[in-house]
Amino acid sequence: MKKISLLGATGSIGIQTLDVIREHPEEFSLAALSAGRNIPLCRKIISEFHPEFVSVKNKEDAEALRAEFPGTVFSYGPDGLQEAAVYYKTDILVNAVLGSVGLSPTLEAIKLGRPVAIANKETLVTAGHLVMEAAKQHGTQIIPVDSEHSAIFQALQGEREKNIERLVVTASGGSFRDRCRNELANVTVKEALNHPNWSMGAKITIDSATMMNKGLEVIEAHWLFSMPYEKISVLLHKESIIHSMVEFHDSSIIAQLGTPDMRVPIQYALSYPDRMPLPSGKRLRLEEIGKLHFAEMDFDRFRCLRFAYEAGKTGGTMPSVMNAANEVAVAAFLEGRIKFLEIEDLIEKALIAHKSSANPDLETIQAADSETRKFVKSLV
Ligand SMILES: NC(=O)C1=CN([C@@H]2O[C@H](COP(=O)(O)OP(=O)(O)OC[C@H]3O[C@@H](n4cnc5c(N)ncnc54)[C@H](OP(=O)(O)O)[C@@H]3O)[C@@H](O)[C@H]2O)C=CC1
Ligand SMILES: CC(=O)[C@@H](O)[C@H](O)COP(=O)(O)O
Ligand SMILES: [Mn+2]
Dist. CA 106–CA 124, nearest whole Å: 10
Residues in the chain with pLDDT values less than 50: none
- Let me know: does 21 contact 29? Beta carbons within 8 Å: yes
DSSP assignment, residue 335?
A: T
Q: Which ligand is nearest to the CA of 33?
A: 1
Output the CA 200–ligand 1 centroid distance in Å.
9
Output the CA 97–ligand 2 centroid distance in Å.
16
- Protein residue with least CA distance to atom 8, ligand 2: 208
- Let me know: does 29 contact 4? Beta carbons within 8 Å: yes
What pLDDT is attached to residue 100? 87
What pLDDT is attached to residue 180? 92
Q: b/e string for 335-369 if b means 16 or more Cβ within 10 A?
A: eeebebbbbbebbbbbbeebebbeebeeebbbebb
Q: Is residue 146 within 6 Å of ligand 1 at its C-beta?
A: yes
Dist. CA 42–CA 38, nearest whole Å: 6
Residue boundaries of the structural domains of the chain: 2-144, 149-260+282-303, 315-379
The superfamily in CATH containing domain 2-144 is NAD(P)-binding Rossmann-like Domain (3.40.50.720)
Q: Is residue 132 within 6 Å of ligand 1 at its C-beta?
A: no
CA dihedral 119, 122, 127, 133 (to 10 degrees): 10
Dist. CA 238–CA 210, nearest whole Å: 15
Output the CA 365–ligand 1 centroid distance in Å.
21
- Let me know: does 283 contact 324? Beta carbons within 8 Å: no
What pLDDT is attached to residue 376? 98
Q: List the binding residues.
A: 10-13, 36-38, 120-122, 146-148, 172, 195, 201, 208, 213-214, 217
Q: List the binding residues for Mn(2+).
A: 146, 148, 217
Q: Is the pTM of the predicted complex or chain greater than 0.95?
A: yes
Closest C-alpha to 84, from 54, 120, 47: 54
Output the CA 161–ligand 2 centroid distance in Å.
25
What pLDDT is attached to residue 253? 98
Strands of 164-171's sheet, edge to edge? 253-257, 242-248, 164-171, 232-236, 295-296
What pLDDT is attached to residue 125? 97
Closest C-alpha to 255, from 278, 277, 239, 271: 239
Dist. CA 231–CA 361, nearest whole Å: 26
DSSP bridge pairs for 2: 28
Topology annotation, domain 315-379? Rna Polymerase Sigma Factor; Chain: A (1.10.1740)
C-alpha pair distances (Å), 305 with each of 92, 120, 212, 253: 32, 19, 6, 24
